[in-house]
Each structure stands twice: as C-alpha cells, then as structure tokens.
Amino acid sequence: MAHSNPQGDFVQFILGGALASGGAFALMNQVFLSSGFRSAPRYPYVGLMLPIAKPGIGLLMIPLGIGVVLLFLDGYWRLSQFLIWGSAAALLVGVLNSLQMRMATISLWQLVVEIIMIAAGSGLMFRSLKGYDDKGQDQHKRM
C-alpha cells in the first residue's frame, strides 16, 4: 500500500474543490428562474384585477400565527412547535414549487465541459480523502 501525503492530498482536495465549484458555477449561470406567482390578468370587460382560483400560501399564516400564540402559553410547546415548523416547511415547499426554471441556449461543448469539470473535481476531492478514516488519521500507518 502506498503511503499518503497529507500536504499533497490537501492541495489535491483544494484543486478538486475549485474545479468542481467552477463547473457548478458555470452550469448554474446558464439557468434562469422565474416565479409562478403573477398578478391576476386584467379582464377587459370588468376592468378589475380578479383573483385566480388557486390555493394561496397566505392561508399558511393562520396555523403559523396559532403556533406562535401557543408558543407563549404554558403547556402547548409540542403543538406550537408542530404548527410553526409545519407551516414554515409548507411555505418553503410552496415557494419552491412556484419556481419555473429554464436553461439558456448553450452549445453541447459548453455543457460537456461543465459536466466534466464537476465530475473531475469531485473525483479529485474524493480521491484525496480515500486514505483517511473519519478521525483524520492515515489508515496505512496503523497497519
């Protein structure tokens, strides 16, 4: 078994992280997000903004408010935590669900280079950690 070099492994980890981060940045820079939350269309025959009939995230504020009230009452800690965290999680899911993604037009060459950068950088990072256990000690020295 080959002896590992901690300084070389550290440099390899940093270079792999930079390569993977650069590839991820280049790939994410090609993605555009828009929100699904838009104002209701203006109907010409009425001239008013009419709401669209879809479930609103604003209703999640009711159990959130009840949870905050129960938080300050004695004896309702578990129920208040359930209402607060459940409402916050549902709110986050609702916001993320409303996002629409589209990718900019790029060449196949750009996409392949970005994917290879991410994969090669990740491989370098994992290879630099291969010879160590979870306590940071060299496995080869203990044998």
pLDDT in tens, 61-83: 899 999 999 999 988 889 999 99
- Whether the Cβ atoms of residue 121 and residue 18 lie closer than 8 Å to each other: yes
User: What Rg, from alpha-carbon coordinates, does the chain have?
Assistant: 26
The pair of three-digit structure tokens given for residue 1, joined into one six-digit string: 């078994």
Q: Categorize the per-residue pLDDT at 45 as very low, low, confident or very high, splitting at 50, 70 and 90.
A: very low
Cα–Cα distance measured from residue 100 to residue 91, given in angstroms and rounded to the nearest whole number: 17
What predicted TM-score, i.e. pTM, was given to this entire model? 0.56
Looking at residue 138, what is its pLDDT?
57
**Which is higher by pLDDT, 101 or 47?**
101
The pair of three-digit structure tokens given for residue 135, joined into one six-digit string: 């306590």
Lowest mean pLDDT among 26-40, 54-68, 94-108: 26-40
Q: Categorize the per-residue pLDDT at 38 as very low, low, confident or very high, splitting at 50, 70 and 90.
A: low
Looking at residue 70, what is its pLDDT?
93
Q: Categorize the per-residue pLDDT at 50 as very low, low, confident or very high, splitting at 50, 70 and 90.
A: very low
Burial category of 112 from C-beta neighbours within 10 Å (exposed 0-12, middle 13-18, buried 19 and up): exposed
Cα–Cα distance measured from residue 52 to residue 41, given in angstroms and rounded to the nearest whole number: 8
* Mean model confidence pLDDT for the chain: 81
Q: Which residues contact 121 (CB under 8 A, 6 or more apart)?
A: 15, 16, 17, 18, 19, 20, 21, 22, 23
